[in-house]
Amino acid sequence: MQDQEVFEWLKTNIVQTRQIRPEVVRMDSSLSEDLIPDSFEMIELVCQIEKQFGFRIDYDDFSDMQSVGDVVAFIQQNAEK
């Protein structure tokens, strides 16, 4: 998958689960401040990424990610393994 495809999947997922406007989700959007302030919802997102892309995510690794772009890069890096 290309970065744009991963971004669109992630954006759609966040928009649907958080019920926010699509234009709010950008590559530089902060996960914890702008999009997913609740840790339970963050865990849900991790589970959805694992299911969609077929790899396990250590929650500590995920908690270090600050932006949507960080998540896209992480998915790209790990989905290729």
Q: How far apart are CA 22 and CA 11, in angstroms?
A: 7
Phi, psi of 55 (to 5 degrees): -145, 155
For residue range 3-46, what is the model confidence (pLDDT) as tens digits?
899 999 999 999 998 889 999 999 999 998 889 888 888 899 99
By the 10 Å C-beta count (0-12 exposed, 13-18 middle, 19+ buried), 72 is classed as buried
Answer whether residue 1 shows pLDDT above 90. no
DSSP string over 6-62:
HHHHHHHHHHHHHT--GGG--TT-BIIIII---HHHHHHHHHHHHHHHT----HHHH
